[in-house]
Structure 1
Amino acid sequence: MIPLKYLQAYPTTLQDKVRELIAQERLGEHLAKRYPERHPVQSDKALYAYTMDLKQQHLKNAPGIDKVLYDSKLDVVRNALGLHTAISRVQGGKLKAKKEIRVAALFKAAAPEFLQMIVVHELAHLKEYDHNKAFYQLCQYMLPDYHQLEFDLRVYLTWRELPTTANADNRD
């Protein structure tokens, strides 16, 4: 049985469907049909503008964001697809916190829905620090298909790590 590390928390029936697509060498085809396009957000500047647009639409009163960028060092193995940080520095007599959002660089070549899901997830951390019920409700408020997209993104990550060389050209 193929271990599905990104899908371990999902029901066995869903995992079995993914395994079946893998066995039939149709997982890439399945994903390409569902998500045929790649997003145009390729630079850090464009990612910042994209993130700020989403923030303005859904979280007008949330704290500001100082920096948004693609990060080639984020480790998908540790499930860090995006990262929301607050870096504190002393300036004069005051403590200043700079908020940053970093998105794994592999999402430069992903479907627009996957990029949106990652950015929504990181923006939700501006209001809700923990992955609790309120956090996921906020994600769904900003992106009604959030849970389906999160699942599909995990399927995409599973596909990217398949040892099949036939799919290697389509991964990036």
Structure 2
Amino acid sequence: MKLVAAPALRYLNGYPADTLAQVQHMLAEGRVGDWLTRRHPQAHGVRTDKVLYDYVQDIKSDYLRSTEPLSKVAFDSKLHVVKNALGTHTTVSRVQGSKLKSKREIRVASLFKDTPEPFLKMIVVHELAHLREREHDKAFYQLCTHMEPAYHQLEFEVRIYLTHLEATGERLWAAAD
């Protein structure tokens, strides 16, 4: 009898051993996809950078009105592969005459074009929180849960989805373009 190696759970580092065992068991039985699609039956409708910008601005205006304006919000097809990140926030500074101008940008991995809206919101909330809190500390996560009360559960589910993708290659909510 040949044993099949269990997929690595690299996206779930730091979670308790019993939680990892449950996820491993679900992966081995091929139940992760069904579990996720039952919890989140359909993908969101945010398909373009313009709609994404409006989506992010709506959340920002509800919770972070006093932060610097965003100059760009976009889906980035290279993000997940290049930086092993799901979203980024950057500040680009340029000298214009005698003044230093800075622009804030948020990029979201294009993987999130084909996910449920709560997954997209979790990534957006995470990147918006970085406008006020640079480090992943207690204040940062308090701000995340202020903007999205289910933030930690959604982050866990996104990590399970990434683990599912790595193990099977199956996108669960792929758009029928």
Please tell me the TM-score bracket, short chain as reference: over 0.9
**Identity percentage of aligned residues:** 51
Match of 2:121 among 93, 96, 116: 116
Determine whether 1:24 maps to 2:29.
yes
Given that residues 86 and 97 in structure 1 are in contact (C-alpha distance below 8 angstroms), is that contact kept between their aligned partners in structure 2? yes
The CA deviation at 1:60 is 1.1
The CA deviation at 1:121 is 0.3
Given that residues 73 and 104 in structure 1 are in contact (C-alpha distance below 8 angstroms), is that contact kept between their aligned partners in structure 2? yes
Q: How far does the alpha carbon of each residue in 1:109-149 deviate from its partner, in whole angstroms, 9 at most, with x for none?
A: 01100000000000000100111110000000000000000
Segments of structure 2 that go 5 or more residues without pairing to the other structure are 1-5
The CA deviation at 1:171 is 5.8
Segments of structure 1 that go 5 or more residues without pairing to the other structure are none
Identify the residue that residue 48 of structure 1 maps to in structure 2: 53
TM alignment of 1:6-85, pairs within 5 A: 6-75=11-80, 78-85=83-90
Cα pair distance change 1:111/1:76, threshold 3 Å: farther
Q: How far does the alpha carbon of each residue in 1:74-97 deviate from its partner, in whole angstroms, 9 at most, with x for none?
A: 025754100000011111111111
Given that residues 160 and 171 in structure 1 are in contact (C-alpha distance below 8 angstroms), is that contact kept between their aligned partners in structure 2? no
Measured in 1, the distance between the counterparts of 2:27 and 2:59 equals 34
Identify the residue that residue 158 of structure 1 maps to in structure 2: 163
Cα pair distance change 1:76/1:118, threshold 3 Å: farther
Measured in 2, the distance between the counterparts of 1:147 and 1:39 equals 20
Determine whether 1:126 maps to 2:131.
yes
Measured in 2, the distance between the counterparts of 1:169 and 1:48 equals 24
Number of residue pairs aligned between Structure 1 and Structure 2: 169
Given that residues 42 and 173 in structure 2 are in contact (C-alpha distance below 8 angstroms), is that contact kept between their aligned partners in structure 1? no
Measured in 2, the distance between the counterparts of 1:54 and 1:113 equals 13
Q: SS state of the match for residue 120, structure 2? A: helix
Measured in 1, the distance between the counterparts of 2:76 and 2:132 equals 23
TM-score w.r.t. length of structure 2: 0.91
Greater RCO (CA < 8 Å, at least 6 residues apart): 2
Measured in 2, the distance between the counterparts of 1:91 and 1:161 equals 45
The CA deviation at 1:169 is 6.0
Given that residues 116 and 173 in structure 2 are in contact (C-alpha distance below 8 angstroms), is that contact kept between their aligned partners in structure 1? no
Given that residues 48 and 69 in structure 1 are in contact (C-alpha distance below 8 angstroms), is that contact kept between their aligned partners in structure 2? yes
Q: How far does the alpha carbon of each residue in 1:55-87 deviate from its partner, in whole angstroms, 9 at most, with x for none?
A: 001111111111000000102575410000001
Match of 1:3 among 2, 8, 26: 8
Q: CA RMSD in A?
A: 1.4
Given that residues 37 and 172 in structure 2 are in contact (C-alpha distance below 8 angstroms), is that contact kept between their aligned partners in structure 1? no
